[in-house]
Structure 1
Amino acid sequence: MTRLLLKNLQLCSSFFDAAPRFLGRDFHTRLTAENKEVTDASAVSPSKRARTETQPAEERSVLRFAKLSEHATTPTRGSAKAAGYDLYSAYDYIIGPMDKAIVKTDIQIAVPHGCYGRVAPRSGLAAKHFIDVGAGVVDEDYRGNVGVVLFNFSKDTFEVKKGDRVAQLVCEKICYPDLEEKETLDDTERGAGGFGSTGRN
């Protein structure tokens, strides 16, 4: 009887000695697997991706510019969704009635690939002072001083001060088609109808 009790005590002792090691390995393995599942789940979480992912640089449109003198002003936008960047005069100018001037900005630009820069009038100058903009195309490969051709269609002299906003630069998509000469072109319903052919106004 005594021998049987001693043998049972030895078996119990061996079991309890081994149990912590066994349970520890099992617990550690299970905990590691659970942590991995949590990590993997967070790695593909849409909300987390939205917070951390950024648009690749090659997909972003960037308008690069450089100042050619200390008189240049950095182009600005009136709001986050404004179509164009305001261009600023680098010098003072006086434009007589029914006259024009090429207003230098002293900046050079590099428009995004596949775009050109359209130099457009500012609505305030047009509505209040009869000031318009002409010849407003900046090619993708142009790297010279951006000049703004201002026309004064009013009866009064117009003064441009250094730092005045004189136009806005709008980046527009463009295609570069090859030129192909043909003997004749296909007929259309409109045909050769030109100025005023579709109505009085």
Structure 2
Amino acid sequence: MNVKFKRLHPDAKIPQYATEMAAGFDLVAVDDVIIAPGETAKVPLGFAVQIPPGYEIQIRPRSGVSAKTKLRVANSPGTVDADYRGEVAVLIDNISQKSYEIIDDEVYAEATFCLSLVDGKSTLIVPEGYDTSNAILKDTYWIRKGDRIAQGVLAAVSRASFEDVAELDDTGRGDGGFGHTGVSV
């Protein structure tokens, strides 16, 4: 199926499937984004798309990012509608707890400032222009330009007609929900 891709940023990457049978295609950050614990950030991808009518792109987490970091796709799965023509972006939550490491001015050095990366590793390199004050927030993540941060899945969309009724058919489940069947087998 053909999905038209419009580059809005010179470094935008055309989405690609990492393997022949992958369901999702990689979505790549086009800018550096820093996300402190407890924060949510919109990570731009630098492109717009034209999705065929009757389809959507679902934005989902990459399992490696979720396994190695505290970064989560905030509205997973996010939806890019067929009639949307703006820049595609990914909302990312840093679910780490806020905790500070206070560094004494006399001990402070660049090596004491460390950012976490989407592969679960850390770096002592600080992005240009980033303020490294003495109160350093642990578990602050740096999504770097070029990082694969999420995946997209092209999915068919069913449309519903809703009918206003006074009663619904009875079922064995009824109104039981939110764990009413328990957790043990």
TM exceeds 0.5? yes
| TM-score computed with the length of structure 1 as normaliser | 0.66
Read off the aligned partner of 1:141 and give its amino acid letter: D
Kindly provide the CA deviation profile for residues 70-97 of structure 1, in whole angstroms up to 9, marking residues without a partner as x.
1312111101211111111111110001
| Correspondence for 2:163 | 180
**Paired residue secondary structure (1:108):** strand
**Paired residue secondary structure (2:14):** coil
| Correspondence for 2:44 | 104
**Paired residue secondary structure (1:124):** helix
Percent identity between the two aligned chains: 40
Contact 2:40 2:74 in 1 (8 A): no
| Correspondence for 1:73 | 13
| Correspondence for 2:81 | 139
Moved over 6 A (4+): none
Read off the aligned partner of 1:87 and give its amino acid letter: L
* CA–CA separation in structure 2 for the residues paired with 1:126 and 1:173: 26
Query: What is the CA distance between 1:175 and its match in structure 2?
Result: 0.5
* CA–CA separation in structure 1 for the residues paired with 2:153 and 2:52: 11
Q: CA RMSD in A?
A: 1.4
Query: What is the CA distance between 1:134 and its match in structure 2?
Result: 2.2
* CA–CA separation in structure 2 for the residues paired with 1:134 and 1:112: 25
Kindly provide the CA deviation profile for residues 131-154 of structure 1, in whole angstroms up to 9, marking residues without a partner as x.
110221111111111110011123
Specify which structure has the higher proportion of helix: 1
Query: What is the CA distance between 1:129 and its match in structure 2?
Result: 0.8
Aligned residue pairs total: 141
Specify which structure has the higher proportion of strand: 2
| Correspondence 1:165 to 2:176 | no
| Correspondence for 1:83 | 23
Query: What is the CA distance between 1:186 and its match in structure 2?
Result: 1.2
For structure 1, which runs of at least 5 residues remain unmatched after alignment? Answer: 1-60
Read off the aligned partner of 2:149 and give its amino acid letter: V
Structure 2 residue aligned with 1:122, among 62, 81, 96?
62
| TM-score computed with the length of structure 2 as normaliser | 0.72
Larger RCO: 1 or 2 (CA < 8 Å, sep 6+): 2
| Correspondence 1:148 to 2:131 | no
For structure 2, which runs of at least 5 residues remain unmatched after alignment? Answer: 98-138
Pick the structure with greater CA Rg. 1
Query: What is the CA distance between 1:163 and its match in structure 2?
Result: 1.2
